[in-house]
Structure 1
Amino acid sequence: MNPKKGYTELIKTEAKRLGFLSCGISKAEFLEEEAPRLEKWLNQNMHGEMRYMENHFDKRLDPTKLVEGSKSVVSLLLNYFPSEQQNPESYKISKYAYGTDYHFVIKDKLKSLLSFIQEEIGEVHGRAFVDSAPVLDKAWAARSGLGWVGKHSNLLTQQVGSFYFIAELIIDLELEYDSPVTDHCGTCTACIDACPTEAIVEPYVVDGSKCISYFTIELKDSIPSAFHGKFDDWMFGCDVCQDVCPWNRFSKPHQEPLFNPHPELLSMTKKDWEEITEDFFRQVFKKSAVKRTKYTGLKRNIDLLSS
């Protein structure tokens, strides 16, 4: 049996057992197509105050500079679409932040997968990445045949839409590589038309500095007055471009108990949020990605929405 084929099947089977939605593999090499796009995006200041996006340009485009001796990028998807959603009369939180912070949940699964590879195959070196290092995860997932990058710049699949996390294992093992799939956005412009702040400036290009997620999470200064009244009740993140995407009618609820929301989260009203205390914030969001914006940031967002 071809060892590369056997190893590839072994890894994909274990990824499935660990609860990942899907697993695709591509050769670790320089991302030639993405290089000029990233450079242009940065030169146009579409990253706003996210200065970290300017760092490690070479490593962002070439995993062999990030992980010495790397041969393969194993891309994985983990579903987070919830079975229940917030009270429609509430201020809104992005669905990915309903439960336990995904960094912890996925990192544990990736460590288990890497340990499995080392036990079953032998001396394999690599690193796990969950949105925490200079890795262009959507580009790698698309290269690995897990979907295509849609006009809203999120990864899309015909089977389950786009409500999932992307993670990678970059390892020094040669495997069988998958092929990209075709783009199925067609003439649809639902995401572009629906964006409350017109952040999707052209198909496949999002001006990060105009995105509601950027304003409510990344921006530490006060929100520019030009964008007041345009947040459509989003106090942390934004799902508008995904919610309107026709492919997301195929989204199915996740099976990960750690992603289940804190009970309080689903029942709260706008009035409840307006009266939120720091103690309550700590209690409800103790292990949540919402901690990133801190109590002061969330309060700033709520105050802006309620004014």
Structure 2
Amino acid sequence: MAAASSPLIPTQTDDPVALKAWIKAEALALGFADCVIAKPDAQAELARLEEYLKRGYQADMHFLGENLEKRANPALLVPGTKSIICVRMDYLVETPKPRHVPDAPNQGIIARYARGRDYHKTMRGRLKTLSQRIRERVGEFESRPFADSAPIFEKSLAENAGMGWTGKHTLLIHKKSGSFFVLGELFTSLDLPFDQPTSKHCGSCSACLDICPTQAIVEPYMLDASKCIAYLTIEYKGIIPENLRRPIGNRIFGCDDCQLICPWNSFAKLTPIEDFQPRHGLDRLTLLDFWQWDEATFLSHTEGSPLRRTGYQSFMRNVAIGLGNAPFNLDIIKQLQAKREQHDEIVQVHIDWALEQQQLKQV
């Protein structure tokens, strides 16, 4: 006689409260830092996005104005969705000093989430595993994982289910964990009890608005992407406006300043997930180190990395700006001149600017 397998508990008869508690425990066991159950309804966020689009703060990210109905009603994106399992993954590998933005002008600064493996793949993989574990318990059900990969108000869904509140910098903040985390969702056909929103705790603090190098946070809870260093160094492929180049400093992929200064990040947790550990020295290379990369090196060192999103030429454009902002160094001038013709016209514009900036600093 074959060994009996563990009996499946039909979704319809499983105690929803017990199932919800079990799903949360499984999520934590998979390395997620938190798990909440959200109602598939984001209608309340639609008016804010429409105002954002009306002001033109989306820059050339035109996709933000598409699929608004699906963003507001997740069941239109995935028919049959009854509940959304929202999770987060912390990504810090070392604790930053509270309310402190490091000053290392010769280093190429890459946002902390992007120094290791691309979290989108890690997130989706673990969500698929969570879905399979649920299926082993309850039987067949419909599910679909997302990690910043579809028209979803993921922050709003997580906030409405109590994972935190939207800070004045527009990022989600958790009272006991800060904001150094990324989000993911598992859309499901399960009938699960929804979690409730928490209270907001930014108060009168304006640290993130005050610290933003380009003043991209134009008012509390409203960000102008066309000024944001994360947008300029990652999404934007053109010539960066000259008035924004100095404020960019040596940030060559993203920016953490508004998070580093936030007092709630004194509670930020370190990640247990190995994929977030820096690779190829991305947490310590100098601007001149990065400037030596040819396209083959870029492709090799960014395989499976968020840095691939910029493309080689845009990445070198960012490094050139950093070199222009670095303290005067004759070697910087020589290296910029030596490699100028190896890059496209857009990068050359920024190389010429960087050379001018270096020469202005020469005593």
The one-letter code matched in structure 2 to 1:81 is L
Residue matched to 2:304? 287
Q: Determine whether 1:193 maps to 2:210.
A: yes
Displacement after TM superposition at 1:94 (Å): 0.4
Question: 1:272 and 1:146, CA in 2 relative to 1: closer, same or farther beyond 3 A?
Answer: same
Aligned equivalent of 1:255, options 249, 272, 291: 272
Q: Distance in 1 between matches of 2:103 and 2:132?
A: 41
Q: Determine whether 1:79 maps to 2:96.
A: no
Q: Distance in 2 between matches of 1:27 and 1:272?
A: 48
- Is the contact between residue 125 and residue 172 of structure 1 (CA under 8 Å) also seen in structure 2? yes
Displacement after TM superposition at 1:262 (Å): 1.2
Q: Determine whether 1:6 maps to 2:23.
A: no
Q: Distance in 2 between matches of 1:21 and 1:248?
A: 15
Aligned with 1:64: secondary structure? Answer: helix
Runs of 4+ that moved beyond 6 A? 84-87
Q: Distance in 2 between matches of 1:202 and 1:73?
A: 31
**In the TM superposition, what whole-angstrom CA distance separates every residue of 1:84-125 from its partner, at most 9, and x where no partner exists?**
889944020000001000011111001001111111112210
**Deviating more after overlay: 74-83 vs 266-275:** 266-275
Aligned equivalent of 1:110, options 112, 127, 131: 127
Displacement after TM superposition at 1:253 (Å): 1.7
- Is the contact between residue 43 and residue 73 of structure 2 (CA under 8 Å) also seen in structure 1? no
**In the TM superposition, what whole-angstrom CA distance separates every residue of 1:42-97 from its partner, at most 9, and x where no partner exists?**
12111101111111111011111111011111110101012288994402000000
Residue matched to 2:37? 25
Aligned length: 306
Aligned with 1:170: secondary structure? Answer: strand
Q: Distance in 2 between matches of 1:267 and 1:27?
A: 42
Q: Using CA pairs below 8 Å that are at least 6 residues apart, which structure has the higher relative contact order?
A: 1
Question: 1:237 and 1:148, CA in 2 relative to 1: closer, same or farther beyond 3 A?
Answer: same
Q: Distance in 2 between matches of 1:190 and 1:2?
A: 47
- Is the contact between residue 87 and residue 266 of structure 1 (CA under 8 Å) also seen in structure 2? no
Aligned equivalent of 1:183, options 200, 209, 213: 200
Displacement after TM superposition at 1:222 (Å): 1.1
Q: Distance in 1 between matches of 2:213 and 2:193?
A: 42
Aligned equivalent of 2:65, options 54, 78, 81: 54
Aligned equivalent of 2:243, options 207, 219, 226: 226
Aligned with 2:155: secondary structure? Answer: helix
Q: Distance in 2 between matches of 1:144 and 1:110?
A: 18
- Is the contact between residue 86 and residue 186 of structure 2 (CA under 8 Å) also seen in structure 1? yes
Aligned equivalent of 1:100, options 117, 122, 135: 117
- Is the contact between residue 212 and residue 238 of structure 1 (CA under 8 Å) also seen in structure 2? yes
Displacement after TM superposition at 1:267 (Å): 3.3
Q: Distance in 2 between matches of 1:292 and 1:83?
A: 25
The one-letter code matched in structure 1 to 2:94 is S
**In the TM superposition, what whole-angstrom CA distance separates every residue of 1:139-170 from its partner, at most 9, and x where no partner exists?**
01101111001000000011110001100011
Displacement after TM superposition at 1:277 (Å): 2.0
Q: Identity across aligned pairs (percent)?
A: 38
Q: Distance in 2 between matches of 1:103 and 1:168?
A: 11
Residue matched to 2:143? 126
- Is the contact between residue 265 and residue 284 of structure 1 (CA under 8 Å) also seen in structure 2? no
Question: 1:282 and 1:9, CA in 2 relative to 1: closer, same or farther beyond 3 A?
Answer: same
Structure 1 residue runs without a partner (length 5+): none
Q: Determine whether 1:267 maps to 2:284.
A: yes
Q: Determine whether 1:239 maps to 2:256.
A: yes
Aligned with 1:166: secondary structure? Answer: strand
Q: Distance in 2 between matches of 1:158 and 1:264?
A: 32
Q: TM-score, normalised to structure 1's length?
A: 0.96
Aligned with 2:134: secondary structure? Answer: helix
- Is the contact between residue 164 and residue 198 of structure 2 (CA under 8 Å) also seen in structure 1? yes
Q: Determine whether 1:67 maps to 2:69.
A: no
Residue matched to 1:153? 170
**In the TM superposition, what whole-angstrom CA distance separates every residue of 1:1-36 from its partner, at most 9, and x where no partner exists?**
97110110111011011000000112212x232111
Residue matched to 2:219? 202
- Is the contact between residue 87 and residue 268 of structure 1 (CA under 8 Å) also seen in structure 2? no
Aligned with 1:162: secondary structure? Answer: coil
Residue matched to 1:299? 316
- Which structure is larger by alpha-carbon Rg, 1 or 2? 2
| RMSD after superposition | 1.6
The one-letter code matched in structure 1 to 2:66 is N
Q: Distance in 2 between matches of 1:72 and 1:203?
A: 30
Mapping for residues 155-174 of structure 1, pairs under 5 Å: 155-174=172-191
Aligned with 2:186: secondary structure? Answer: strand
